Structure 1
């Protein structure tokens, strides 16, 4: 299992799936859900897939960890 961040292409996901990941978010700074994210980046780290972006409201990092059912 790799200890390095492996970049993945978020745009390879279908449009409906991308939209769901971009809209269904939680921001730890705003303490609100579904504010959305911009500038998404998908990567794998230690065998776990993440989608990371910036909160549409405050600009802080928003991180989604994908479970096996999600990818």
Structure 2
């Protein structure tokens, strides 16, 4: 089993942070681009994730980064 490796979301440039925080999908609200707060970035099984809370309902949102996000 792989270990979760913490990364520094705030080391990303401001423009990139803004895009990741605004371009979201909430499974609970079933809506796009509601925004996320309290972002935490980590790597698991060689995949990078950004996790935070939906700005509308507060449920956890997880964004999986793909090669096209870099």
* 2:57 matched residue in structure 1: 58
TM superposition outliers: structure 1 runs of 4+ over 3 Å: none
- What residue is the counterpart of 2:47 in the other structure? 48
Query: What is the alpha-carbon distance in structure 2 between the residues aligned to residue 29 and residue 69 of structure 1?
Result: 26
Q: How do 1:31-46 and structure 2 match up within 5 A?
A: 31-46=30-45
C-alpha distance in structure 1 between counterparts of 2:6 and 2:68, whole Å: 20
Q: CA deviation at 1:70?
A: 1.7
SS for the counterpart of 1:22 is: helix
2:21 equivalent to 1:22: yes
Give the Cα separation in 1 of the matches to 2:7 and 2:55.
Answer: 22
**Structure 1 stretches of 5 or more lacking a match?**
none
TM-score, normalised by the number of residues in structure 1: 0.94
Q: For structure 2, list consecutive stretches of 5 or more residues without a partner in the other structure.
A: none
The number of aligned residues is: 70
